[in-house]
Every structure is written in C-alpha cells, then in structure tokens.
Amino acid sequence: MSPFDDSRLDDEYALNSADPVLRELATAGARVRREVADAAEALDQVLRAHDGVRPRAVVAAGPDSRLLRAVLEPWCPVPFVAWPNPSLPGWAGSLDLVVVLAPEGGDTGAASAIAEAVRRGCQVVVAAPSGSVVAEHAVGRDTVLLPAASGDQLATAVVMLSYLSKVGLGPQTDPEGVATALDEIAVSCSPYVDQTENPAKLLAIGLAEATPILWGGSVLAARAARRVAEAIRRSSGRAALAADAEHLLPILASAPQADLFADPFADPSWDTGGDSGDAEELRPTLVIFDDGSQDAAVRVDRGRLVVAAEERHVRVETVASTAPTELARYAALLATGWYAAAYLGIGLDVVGVESA
C-alpha cells in the first residue's frame, strides 16, 4: 500500500478518482428528502387508518432492525424487540406490530419474516421499494408498504421513524432536520474545502499513521462508531476497531510509549512505536464520537478513555455534532466519519475506494 500523501486530499485528479463515493455522500440529505416525499401519500393513508390503539409490542424484523432499535429501545412505550433473524419471535401475533426496513428490497430474510408476520395476522409496516421481493411478500389486510427508492438505509429509516413518531411509538422525528444536518456536513467536508478547514480531511490526516480505535458513548454514537470503523476498513484496507470502553481501555494501556524526543526523519520507527513501518505496528489513535449525551455513565467512560490515552501519549480525535435531534446528530457523526474514511483511502491511493 502507498504511504499516505496528504497533498492528494486537495489534488483535483485524486479527488475525481473517488467522485462516485464523494458524490453519494454529498447527496445524502437529498435522498432523505426524496424518500420522505415519495412516502408521504402512503404515510398519510396509514395514519388516517390508524385507530389509536397501541400494539402489545413492536418487533423490528430483518437485518436492518438494529438501527431502529438504537433509536426506539430507550423510548418506545411498549415492549420493543429487534429481531434480525429470518423469522419472528414465537409469541408475535395479531396484537403486535412488525416493522421492517428493506432499503434495497431484495433481502430474503426480511421477506421471510414479513411472510410469517402476514400469516400470523400481525400488523405490518414495511419500508421497501415497490415491486421488490420484500414488497411482494408484504401483501395482506393489515400490511402497509411505505415506498423506498434510494437504497439508503438512513433515508428509509427516517421514513419509518416518522411513522412511528406520529403514532406515539417513537421519539419526535424531524426529517428536514436530518437532511439539513447531512447537507451541512456535505458543505463542511466537501472535497473543495481545503484540508486546513475540512474536519473530515483533518481526521483522515490524524488517522494516516495510526490504527483507529473508535468509541461512542450513547447507543446511537456507538452505532455510528461501528459503521465508520467498517467504512475505514473498506476504504483503507487497514484495521479499525469500534467497541465499548471496557474493551478499548486495555488497548490504550498496552500501547507502546512514544519517544517524545525522537526525530521522525532520522528514526523511521518513531511513528509506529516499533522497528518498521508495517501497518500492524501503527500506534492507536482514539476517535470519540460525541453526540452531546449528558448521561453520567457516558461522561465517566469518556473520561477514563481520555486519561488512558493521555498516559500513553495516544492521539485523541473528536467527531462532534450539535444538531437538534438525536437522529440528526447520528446522521452528522456518521457522515463526517464516512467522509474521513473516503479521504483516508484517497490519501493512501487505494484503488477502488468503496462507499460506506
């Protein structure tokens, strides 16, 4: 793999080579608006038909159920279960609501779960492309299809969460706020913004000679950290780990001590803490995803991580958002991290940088 070259982050040719990835990130806010607009009529119909009776429980089925769990679990007024398996819990029946996210519509596991929900007489709300395999299984008297076309998980989730919010089963969802937050990140992290003022490019530079370890304190911030770690692995071919504080603290404690007086030009091993520049010996960098959570446990864990990092002279980077809602802050953290992952791949001159 080529060494990281930060000049590529402002090089027109290098940036053009990753244009499909950067363009997809830049249009994230537009996808949210389009999905919400396309589903508006179906959403109005299901809300008019809603009888105001709460279900006994909500089951989020299919492989994309974990995002719904991250948003709904702390808030939902009835029992909530995320069930990513191609089936349903044995107790699910006509008193329960089954919700499914299927942005691409081709997942057979989600289709299987929907078919089972229809057979059992469950109330079913599905967000999926019309005419897809999943949509074909979502046919029944108590089934509602919210059309999706972008293939974007977050945009599809915003549509579903809007429905759940309006029927009193989820927190307030502001789709325009989410789209605006994504637009703001697209502006601040644009490839046309110089690296000295671009938070995503600065983060990529901070991770250029490091093994990223990522942490988010709240449920949504932790999910953003995991998704960004996946994106970093894909875009750079390097290791990246997202985990709870208890799992990251031993990594920080065992980080090799950096020689603060070493000359990085005279000593090639200075930046890795070892005898060579192999990727396996890169020192860790702690990346904190801060969505403004004031939970005491989050503050304590963050403090422990920062102290452990400072003791071993480990670099600490922070990705923060002050967007007005939890979902908008999650979207902003995710988008910033995905931009940084893309720029890391560009700086390393990795062929075929992939989108997150």
Is residue 14 situated within a structural domain?
A: yes
Judge if 270 and 206 occupy the same domain. Answer: yes
Domain closes at, from 105, 124, 147: 147
pLDDT tens column, 210-252: 999 999 999 999 999 999 999 999 999 999 999 999 999 999 9
- DSSP 8-class letter at 6: G
pLDDT tens column, 197-207: 999 999 999 99
Is residue 171 situated within a structural domain?
A: no
Judge if 185 and 211 occupy the same domain. Answer: yes
pLDDT tens column, 288-332: 999 999 999 999 999 999 999 999 999 999 999 999 999 999 999
pLDDT at 277 over 60: no
Please state, for a pLDDT cut of 90, what percent of the chain lies above it.
78
The model scores a pTM over 0.85: yes
What ranges in the chain are assigned the alpha helix state H? 12-17, 19-26, 28-38, 40-49, 65-72, 108-120, 133-137, 153-166, 175-188, 199-206, 219-236, 245-253, 296-311, 326-347
Judge if 19 and 92 occupy the same domain. Answer: no
Q: What is the mean pLDDT of the chain?
A: 90
d(CA 20, CA 143): 36
d(CA 209, CA 71): 34
Is residue 135 situated within a structural domain?
A: yes
Domain closes at, from 130, 147, 164: 147
- The rounded radius of gyration (Å) of the Cα atoms in the chain is 22
Structural domains counted in the chain: 2
Quick one: pLDDT at residue 354?
Answer: 47
pLDDT tens column, 64-93: 888 999 999 889 999 999 998 888 999 999
The mean pLDDT of 126-131, rounded to a whole number, is 93
pLDDT at 274 over 50: no
Judge if 97 and 197 occupy the same domain. Answer: no
pLDDT at 347 over 50: yes
pLDDT tens column, 3-15: 899 999 999 999 9
Quick one: pLDDT at residue 65?
Answer: 87
- pLDDT confidence tier of residue 263, bands split at 50, 70 and 90: low
Judge if 328 and 211 occupy the same domain. Answer: yes
pLDDT at 145 over 50: yes
Judge if 278 and 186 occupy the same domain. Answer: yes
**Three-state DSSP state, 218:** coil
The mean pLDDT of 22-28, rounded to a whole number, is 97
- Tell me how far CA of residue 341 lies from CA of 208, 349, 353, in angstroms: 10, 12, 9
Is residue 211 situated within a structural domain?
A: yes
- DSSP 8-class letter at 141: T
Residue range of the domain that includes 311: 6-27+178-347
Judge if 10 and 60 occupy the same domain. Answer: no
For residues 25 and 65, the model is more confident at: 25
Instruction: Please tell me the chain's helix, strand, coil percentages from 3-state DSSP, rounded to the nearest 5.
Output: 50, 15, 40
Judge if 80 and 13 occupy the same domain. Answer: no
Judge if 14 and 49 occupy the same domain. Answer: no
CATH number at residue 129: 3.40.50.10490
